[in-house]
Each structure stands twice: as structure tokens, then as C-alpha cells.
């Protein structure tokens, strides 16, 4: 039985199941080849850093946009690889990109009342004369 690893980015939450085996990656039961090239590269980033792509990866992602989901999947894969391979790999990931292992806590600011559709800090334009 494989362990489940979680990756988060903005509103996207990815649950990753990682097993040793021949290279096969499914995201929400879709093959990786069905996604745009930039998304494919973002998801494969941790595997390219480790130089070991022989894993069966099954990811379930909800929320956020396509890039947020891709970064959440990459983070989940990186966490799984670190738990399988150890601290040397953890240092390698932290040197390359800290967000591959550590969740970014920034969120969008809530909209304020009365001008809610225009953003949290938008005010009425004032004339000087």
C-alpha cells in the first residue's frame, strides 16, 4: 500500500499517491500528456531534479487554477520523494526552490464592503481641482 502525500498552493490541494514502478503519471485520471507543456514541466520538476523518473504517480487535485494545481502536485511529489529518499534530497529541493517542500501561506486579501466588486483597497477617484 502506498502512502498519500499532500501538496498545497493557493486554493489548490493535491493528494498524491507515489509508488516505485515504470513512469506513469495520472492527474485526476487523465494522462500527463493531456496538459499544456508548461504544466507538464512544472509537475515533472521534482522528478527531473532527482534524476529518477521511475515512479507511478496518481494525483487527485481540487480547487484553484491550472498552474496552482500543477504547483500543488509538484509539491506533493517532492514531499513524497523526500520521505522515500531522505535528507540529502531535501537539501537539494530547498536549494532549488523552497516552495517544493514548504507551503506558501500567502492568500488574496478579502474584499471590503461597499466597493467589494472592485477589490479590497480600491477607493473612489478624487479630483484635485
Q: Is residue 116 part of a domain?
A: no
Q: What is the CATH number of the domain that holds 84?
A: 3.30.230.10
pTM of the model: 0.84
pLDDT digits (tens, 9 = 90+) for 36-56: 999 999 999 999 998 877 889
- Tally the domains of the chain: 1
Q: Is residue 86 part of a domain?
A: yes
Q: Is residue 22 part of a domain?
A: yes
* Domain extent for 83: 4-97
pLDDT digits (tens, 9 = 90+) for 80-123: 999 888 888 888 988 998 889 998 888 888 888 766 677 888 87
**Can you list the pairs that 21-27 forms with residues at least 24 positions away whose Cβ atoms lie under 8 Å?**
21/54, 21/55, 21/56, 22/54, 22/56, 23/53, 23/54, 23/55, 23/56, 24/56, 24/57, 25/56, 25/57, 25/59, 26/57, 26/58, 26/59, 27/59, 27/61, 27/69, 27/73
Whether pLDDT at 1 is above 70: no
Amino acid at each position: 500500500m502506498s502512502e498519500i502525500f499532500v501538496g498545497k498552493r493557493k486554493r489548490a490541494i493535491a493528494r498524491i499517491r507515489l509508488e516505485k514502478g515504470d513512469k506513469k503519471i495520472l492527474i485526476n485520471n487523465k494522462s500527463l500528456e493531456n496538459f499544456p507543456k508548461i504544466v507538464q514541466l512544472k509537475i515533472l520538476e521534482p522528478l527531473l531534479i532527482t534524476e529518477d523518473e521511475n515512479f507511478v504517480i496518481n494525483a487527485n487535485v481540487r480547487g484553484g487554477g491550472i498552474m496552482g494545481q500543477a504547483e500543488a502536485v509538484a509539491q506533493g511529489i517532492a514531499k513524497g520523494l523526500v520521505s522515500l529518499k531522505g535528507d540529502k534530497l531535501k537539501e537539494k529541493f530547498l536549494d532549488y526552490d523552497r516552495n517544493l517542500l514548504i507551503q506558501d501561506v500567502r492568500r488574496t486579501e478579502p474584499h471590503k464592503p461597499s466597493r467589494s466588486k472592485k477589490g479590497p483597497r480600491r477607493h473612489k477617484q478624487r479630483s484635485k481641482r
